[in-house]
């Protein structure tokens, strides 16, 4: 892989962040930052949830190797609506938990009393300039 030439500083943010080594250990395949994050999150989930019987029933190799690495591989190759999966799931969760009625960035409080509207009659009507008469 050839090094890329960076012309502007904005081009740095478009580069894919990939790990080829971790300390002195050379990885067999390059691992992106999002794949590494997914593996770590799954490992932490299984580590903390292993005290429950449902999670503890999963064999050790599946729980700490196949499921996290398989999920990282699968989720790194899927784009949901053109976004990474973690961003899609996060925005879906915030939408589901957010307040749905907003006005100028502030939640609208629920209406406690029913508003009454009084219709008013126009006084004077419309003037017809051709005949100089008023109509209601």
The three-state (H, E, C) secondary structure of 21-63, written as one string: EECCEEEEEEEEHHHHHHHHHHHHHHHHHCCCHHHHCCCHHHH
pLDDT one-digit tens code per residue, 7-62: 777 777 777 788 898 888 898 888 888 888 888 888 999 888 888 888 888 888 98
Pairwise CA distance, residues 21 & 36, whole Å: 12
Pairwise CA distance, residues 30 & 69, whole Å: 13
Give pLDDT, residue 44.
Answer: 92
Residue 124 confidence class, pLDDT cut points 50, 70, 90: low
Q: How far is CA 30 from CA 8, 97, 123, in A?
A: 25, 36, 79
pTM given for the model: 0.54
């Amino acid at each position: 892989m050839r090094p890329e030439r960076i012309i502007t500083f904005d081009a740095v943010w478009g580069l894919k962040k990939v790990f080829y080594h971790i300390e002195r250990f050379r990885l067999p395949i390059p691992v992106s930052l999002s794949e590494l994050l997914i593996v770590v999150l799954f490992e932490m989930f299984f580590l903390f949830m292993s005290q429950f019987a449902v999670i503890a029933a999963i064999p050790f190799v599946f729980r700490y190797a196949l499921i996290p690495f398989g999920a990282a591989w699968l989720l790194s190759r899927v784009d949901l609506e053109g976004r990474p999966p973690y961003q899609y799931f996060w925005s879906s969760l915030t939408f589901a938990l957010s307040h749905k009625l907003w006005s100028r960035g502030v939640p609208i409080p629920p209406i406690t009393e029913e508003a009454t509207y009084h219709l008013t009659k126009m006084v004077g009507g419309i003037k017809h300039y051709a005949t100089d008469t008023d109509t209601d």
